[in-house]
Amino acid sequence: MHRLDARAEHRIIDRDRACDAVAAIGDRDDVARWAGVFAMLGEPGRLAILLAIHHVGPISVSDLAVAVGMNDAAVSQALRLLRHQQAVVAERDGRVIRYRLADPVVGELLTRVRPAPQLHHGSAADVH
């Protein structure tokens, strides 16, 4: 069955190819969600924050601010957006709130951007 019945008012050159293109795009809600993920990753400050969280594990706002060269308020604002996008979650560690990556798909993309760096002070499992 062709997926083009509702698009009959458009000029179609190759009906089969156009139909396959509709199938390749898939669900419009999924496309919108992915566009949001790519927009989230498209800002250098947010991308740096996500890379730090991804490779280091749970980390505080102040430590992130030092790592990415932003002030605490700017990092907090970026983290609010990242929480809203469900990319990170906040976890309380006594009086400190640390952020960790929540979306494994975003983690896979971040690994493509920056494969596992050589860390100087251990891994995320060593964070106290």
H and E: helices and strands count for the chain: 6, 3
**What are 29-59's pLDDT values in tens digits?**
989 988 988 988 889 999 999 999 999 989 9
pLDDT band at 79 (very low <50, low <70, confident <90, very high): very high
| Number of structural domains found in the chain | 1
Whether residue 9 is contained in a domain is answered as no
What share of the chain in percent tops pLDDT 70?
84
Whether residue 73 is contained in a domain is answered as yes
Q: What local confidence, expressed as pLDDT, does residue 52 receive? A: 95
Output the domain CATH number for residue 36: 1.10.10.10
CA pair distance 105, 60, nearest whole angstrom: 22
User: What is the domain extent for residue 41?
Assistant: 14-119
CA pair distance 109, 66, nearest whole angstrom: 24
Q: What local confidence, expressed as pLDDT, does residue 57 receive? A: 86
Whether residue 107 is contained in a domain is answered as yes
**What are 10-25's pLDDT values in tens digits?**
788 888 888 888 889 9
Contacts of 74 (CB under 8 A, 6+ apart): 45, 65
pLDDT band at 128 (very low <50, low <70, confident <90, very high): very low
Kindly list the distances between the CA atom of residue 18 and the CA atoms of 15, 35, 113, in Å, as whole numbers in the listed order: 5, 22, 32
CA pair distance 126, 99, nearest whole angstrom: 15
Whether residue 6 is contained in a domain is answered as no
Answer yes or no: are the C-beta atoms of 91 and 100 closer than 8 Å: yes
- The structure tokens listed for 7 are 């698009």
Whether residue 99 is contained in a domain is answered as yes
> Is pTM, for the whole model, over 0.85?
no
